[in-house]
């Protein structure tokens, strides 16, 4: 049957239908393949972040953080241990520093009873002059600390804020300013092992903060 009026034969029409059907099948196959690839990608992504999957991999960052936290804690504990041992223990030659912030760098000084004498060197690490921010180092027993410190103010800077001839004073340095240092050497024969002694700066007002324990062991 001729279909020349439509511009193509019956056979061509059949071929066109077959071609369309083939393209439909090909499109569906491609869609299924594409859908499978998308599904696989989704499953892979879901598996990566699913709460019940890859638990071991997900724990790795937590383990790293825990290790870092342990290291940080160790550093803090070490710093605390160093602070707890903030002393010049066991030495007959003691060095202590004072600054412009009304601070001694030692809270405790410990000497051996075997020391025949002890030398304490005071270094002023600040910059202010002695008449403004002067420091000295004075030693008394605990009960005499406050009376001697208060009496020091009346003694004046010309006497290094230390009561002249006061037998309660076991040892004392001169007053110094920023950048200077001074020292005092004294026998500890009169000091009793285990008794409580206090060192302090007798500059008016400083002794309330700048003080510490002196021990003979």
Is the domain 93-216 a CATH 2.60.40.420 member?
Answer: yes
pLDDT at 7 over 70: no
| Model confidence, pTM | 0.60
Query: pLDDT (tens digit, 9 = 90+) per residue, 107-131?
Result: 999 999 989 899 999 999 999 999 9
How far, in Å, CA of 135 to CA of 172, rounded?
11
How far, in Å, CA of 127 to CA of 125, rounded?
7
In b/e form, how buried is each residue of 126-138, taking b as 16+ CB within 10 angstroms? beeebeebbbbbb
How far, in Å, CA of 178 to CA of 5, rounded?
117
DSSP state of 192: P
> What is the spatial order of strands in the sheet that 117-124 belongs to?
93-98, 117-124, 181-187
Pairing of strands 171-172, 108-111: unpaired
- CA 181-185-186 angle, to 5 degrees, is 145
pLDDT score at 29: 55
Tokens of 164: 């002249």
Query: pLDDT (tens digit, 9 = 90+) per residue, 133-143?
Result: 999 999 999 99
CB 169 within 8 A of CB 162: yes
Higher-confidence residue: 175 or 83? Answer: 175
Residue 91 pLDDT class (50, 70, 90 cuts): confident
């Amino acid at each position: 049957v001729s279909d020349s009026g439509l511009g193509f034969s019956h056979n061509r029409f059949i071929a066109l239908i077959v071609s369309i059907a083939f393209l439909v099948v090909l499109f569906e196959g491609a869609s299924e393949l594409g859908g499978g690839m998308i599904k696989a990608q989704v499953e892979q992504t879901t598996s990566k972040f699913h709460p019940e999957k890859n638990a071991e991999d997900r724990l790795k960052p937590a383990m790293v953080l825990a290790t870092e936290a342990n290291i940080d804690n160790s550093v803090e504990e070490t710093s605390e241990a160093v602070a707890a041992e903030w002393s010049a223990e066991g030495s007959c030659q003691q060095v202590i520093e004072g600054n412009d912030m009304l601070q001694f760098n030692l809270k405790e000084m410990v000497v051996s009873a075997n020391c025949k004498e002890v030398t304490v060197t005071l270094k002023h690490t600040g910059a202010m002059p002695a008449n403004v921010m002067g420091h000295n180092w004075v030693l008394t027993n605990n009960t005499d600390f406050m009376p001697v410190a208060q009496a020091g103010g009346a003694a004046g800077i010309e006497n290094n804020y230390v009561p002249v001839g006061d037998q309660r004073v076991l040892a004392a340095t001169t007053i110094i300013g920023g950048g200077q240092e001074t020292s005092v050497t004294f026998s500890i024969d009169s000091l009793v092992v285990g008794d409580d002694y206090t060192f302090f700066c007798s500059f008016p007002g400083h002794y309330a903060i700048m003080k510490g324990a002196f021990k003979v062991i």
